[in-house]
Chains A and B, each alone.
Chain A
């Protein structure tokens, strides 16, 4: 073998061996600094400074910050963390860089507003974000809908919810349900039917599968809440008439209070406890339910992929 070939062979060997070595070392470093990629640091908080640093390519920077907000929320959520302190600033920067970035308002509100474990529990920040979005995109009825939704679900401020739905209903091309929702807020705000309308509208008007799945989960939960409320009323009636708590659904059927044994959205029959409460068979299988669970029940975390 000539000297030149020897050098080539050694160089090739070093090259080939170095590559897995580098990969292995990086893997070890990542293991050592497990959370380094998701450090809770926002070095630049000023959208104005970022605008200048982006040299006018603000759209790309906004996309990056929106993606960062999604990743941050997903990571904190996955870690069961209750600290979402960077979420609002990240969304603020993304929308200031690109005020027309509609997904940041629509999904950002869903991240910010709901109470943990489903969201960051910052409805005031979500309202501020929605209002900023409306100021910059007055023709987008979805943003009014989002604002009304936060007022309805998180703040229980039905008059402001009605106002937001009514304003959205006046936008050309708005979903006709907005006017109906605005009208219902006055008299039927706290009713199951109103909540069902809201989630059905969310399901029908969204193109995104994540939002649609979330709406389906809420509709299932609403059905359970409504069923349990109704069944517990029937249990009380039974108790008044018979003088004891019914042992199971068959007792209610025999008393002529129900036709057949009712089932929850998973197909499992409801059960009656000894103290007369109605419970679902497996509360972990139905997200967002507020009724039909055992005392001191802790709901599971929604699946990470549903929240991204």
Chain B
């Protein structure tokens, strides 16, 4: 990675840590430990399932909220504080700034996910008393969650490059919801005929497919995830986020910052 991008990325990470973003880990730890202790008393035989389902769902939702609310402010905050002009007056190109911000935010989320993953495995050890081979599937689910973060971060950056933080948050969250239902959307598109069908199909393929990146239920039941799905999802997430970041760069390059 180009050193200027690395500097922007590192500073973005440092700023996120300084903004106490990682404090969410405390809430996560409380949630998971509470669930692990309580579930055995209020339900029957689903201790492991709850830890995996609740743990991984919380990792996703905490991460998505962080990605959206930090992602939308990455550009606007720099403009508001006028620090962007200082950065761009140095030999930092606009595209390097955008790409650096993207890597900084995804790096923050990867670190956050790493600590949350430790929490999930500790809670699992508490309720099940030992690890099983099937628990390795949780790592695949966590990897897919990180891939979701790549897409969400890139979308938040894309929207923040041309709209206000509030609108960017609304757009990003709406796309996350629609993308989580993308398989249903493609199903609906399949039954609509004519021009409506074409439009619905186009929309269904344009929105990010978060459904395929959600294998939480599958791994909770100890089912294996196909290697081919891992490869396809990796390529899909990389391509989608590259596309969104390219869009953000294109808009930011032309943006009048005066």
Residues of A within 8 A of B (CB): 52, 55-60, 63, 66-67, 70-71, 98, 100-103, 106-107, 208, 210, 308
Q: List 25 A-B contacts (CB under 8 A).
A: A52-B181, A57-B60, A57-B214, A57-B216, A58-B217, A59-B49, A59-B216, A59-B217, A59-B220, A60-B50, A60-B53, A63-B43, A63-B46, A66-B46, A67-B39, A67-B42, A70-B42, A70-B43, A70-B44, A71-B42, A98-B217, A102-B45, A208-B45, A210-B44, A308-B44
CB contacts under 8 Å to A, within B24-49, are 39, 42-46, 49
A181 to chain B, nearest CB (A): 23
Nearest CB in chain B to that of A103: its residue: B45
Main secondary structure of the interface of B (DSSP, over half): helix
A20 to chain B, nearest CB (A): 23
- CB contacts (< 8 Å) of A70 on chain B: these are 42-44
- CB contacts (< 8 Å) of B54 on chain A: these are 60, 63
Main secondary structure of the interface of A (DSSP, over half): helix
B156 to chain A, nearest CB (A): 18
Residues of B within 8 A of A (CB): 39, 42-46, 49-50, 52-54, 57, 60, 177, 180-181, 184, 210-211, 214, 216-217, 220-221
Q: Given contacts A102-B45, A107-B44, could you give 14 more A-B pairs where the C-beta distance is less than 8 Å?
A: A52-B181, A56-B210, A59-B57, A60-B50, A60-B57, A63-B43, A63-B50, A67-B39, A71-B42, A98-B217, A101-B49, A103-B45, A106-B45, A210-B44
Which of A59, A100, A106, A308 is the most central at the interface, judged by chain B CB atoms within 10 Å of its CB?
A: A59
B212 to chain A, nearest CB (A): 10
CA distance A101 to B43 in the complex (A): 13
B48 to chain A, nearest CB (A): 10
CA distance A60 to B42 in the complex (A): 15
Nearest CB in chain A to that of B50: its residue: A63
Which of B42, B210, B217, B220 is the most central at the interface, judged by chain A CB atoms within 10 Å of its CB?
A: B217
The 10 closest A-B pairs by CB, nearest first: A59-B217, A103-B45, A67-B43, A55-B180, A59-B53, A60-B53, A56-B214, A57-B57, A60-B57, A100-B221
CA distance A102 to B184 in the complex (A): 26
Q: Does B49 lie within 8 Å of A63, measured CB to CB? A: yes
B174 to chain A, nearest CB (A): 12
Given A56-B211, A98-B217; A103-B184 close (CB under 8 Å): no
- CB contacts (< 8 Å) of A59 on chain B: these are 49, 52-53, 57, 216-217, 220
CA distance A98 to B52 in the complex (A): 14
Q: Does B184 lie within 8 Å of A52, measured CB to CB? A: yes
Given A55-B177, A67-B39; A107-B45 close (CB under 8 Å): yes
Task: Choose from A55, A100, A210, A308 the contact partner of B181 (Cβ within 8 Å).
Answer: A55
CA distance A60 to B210 in the complex (A): 17
Nearest CB in chain A to that of B184: its residue: A52
Q: Does B180 lie within 8 Å of A63, measured CB to CB? A: no
CA distance A56 to B218 in the complex (A): 12
Nearest CB in chain B to that of A48: its residue: B184
Which of A52, A98, A210 is the most central at the interface, judged by chain B CB atoms within 10 Å of its CB?
A: A98
- CB contacts (< 8 Å) of A60 on chain B: these are 50, 53-54, 57, 216
B216 to chain A, nearest CB (A): 6
Nearest CB in chain B to that of A107: its residue: B44
Nearest CB in chain A to that of B45: its residue: A103
CA distance A107 to B45 in the complex (A): 9
Nearest CB in chain B to that of A104: its residue: B46
Q: Does B214 lie within 8 Å of A67, measured CB to CB? A: no
CA distance A88 to B184 in the complex (A): 27
Q: Does A57 lie within 8 Å of B46, measured CB to CB? A: no
CA distance A56 to B54 in the complex (A): 13
- CB contacts (< 8 Å) of B221 on chain A: these are 100
A62 to chain B, nearest CB (A): 8
- CB contacts (< 8 Å) of B39 on chain A: these are 67
- CB contacts (< 8 Å) of B214 on chain A: these are 56-57
- CB contacts (< 8 Å) of B210 on chain A: these are 56
- CB contacts (< 8 Å) of A103 on chain B: these are 44-46
A4 to chain B, nearest CB (A): 26
B61 to chain A, nearest CB (A): 8
A195 to chain B, nearest CB (A): 24
B68 to chain A, nearest CB (A): 14
- CB contacts (< 8 Å) of B217 on chain A: these are 58-59, 98, 100
CA distance A66 to B50 in the complex (A): 11
Nearest CB in chain B to that of A74: its residue: B42
Nearest CB in chain A to that of B180: its residue: A55
Q: Does B45 lie within 8 Å of A56, measured CB to CB? A: no
A38 to chain B, nearest CB (A): 13
- CB contacts (< 8 Å) of B57 on chain A: these are 57, 59-60
